[in-house]
Amino acid sequence: MSNNQPVFIYLLIFLALSIVLKLLGVIDVANIELIGYAFIFYGITLVYTSFGKKQTVVLFIGSSVFLVGLVLFLINNFEFTNSKEIIFPAILLIIGINFLMLFFDDTARKSFLAIALTLILSAIIVTVLLGSITVKTFFTSIINIGEKYWPIVLIAVGLLALLHKEYKRK
C-alpha cells in the first residue's frame, strides 16, 4: 500500500458515510459543505503524515486544503452580510497559518514565524476594520454548529484514529 492510499480510502469512507447520513436525514448539509468536510479531513491527514518530516510543500498544501475546507464550512454556516468581505482576510489568515505550521515543523526557520505573525495580524486587522464578525456571534455560531454536526465530527475522529493506527503499523 502506498503512503497516500489509506488516506484516500478513509476519505472515500468519510464521504460515503456523510452522504448516507444526509440521505437518511440524520444530517442536513449542502453539497458544498460536504466538500468542505472532505477538504478538512484530507488536509488534516496530509498535515499529520507530513509534520515533523521536513516535507514543507506537503505540509503547506495540507494546511491550505484543511483551512479552505474550514472556510467553505464557515461560509455555509455563518450569516455573512457580504461573504466577499471575508475572502481577503481568509487568504491572509490561511497563508499566515501555513507559515506558522512550517515554523512549527522547523523552528530554526525564524523567517516563517515572522511571515506568519505579520499575515495573521494583518488578517485580524482587516477583519476588525470590516466589522463583519463579533466574538459573541462567532461563539454562538460555533455552539450551534457543534449541536447540528456532531455525527460528522464523530466520523472524522473515528477515521483519523484508524488512519493513525494504519500509519503506526508502518
Asked whether residue 62 is domain-assigned, the answer is yes
| Amino acid letter, residue 20 | V
For 46-92, how does the pLDDT look when each residue is reduced to its tens digit (9 = 90+)?
A: 888 888 888 889 999 999 999 999 888 878 776 666 667 778 888 99
pLDDT at 1: 39
Asked whether residue 120 is domain-assigned, the answer is no
DSSP string of 48-101? HHHTTTT-HHHHHHHHHHHHHHHHHHHHHHS--S-GGGGHHHHHHHHHHHHHHH
Parent domain of 10: 1-66+149-170
Cα–Cα distance measured from residue 22 to residue 112, given in angstroms and rounded to the nearest whole number: 41
Q: Which residues contact 68 (CB under 8 A, 6 or more apart)?
A: 36, 39, 43, 94
| Amino acid letter, residue 12 | L
Structural domain count of the chain: 1
Asked whether residue 54 is domain-assigned, the answer is yes
Asked whether residue 138 is domain-assigned, the answer is no
For 15-55, how does the pLDDT look when each residue is reduced to its tens digit (9 = 90+)?
A: 888 888 888 888 777 788 888 888 888 888 888 888 888 88
Asked whether residue 86 is domain-assigned, the answer is no
Asked whether residue 119 is domain-assigned, the answer is no
Asked whether residue 46 is domain-assigned, the answer is yes
For 85-126, how does the pLDDT look when each residue is reduced to its tens digit (9 = 90+)?
A: 778 888 999 999 999 989 988 888 999 999 999 999 898 888
- Is 80 exceeded by the pLDDT of residue 154? no
Asked whether residue 80 is domain-assigned, the answer is no
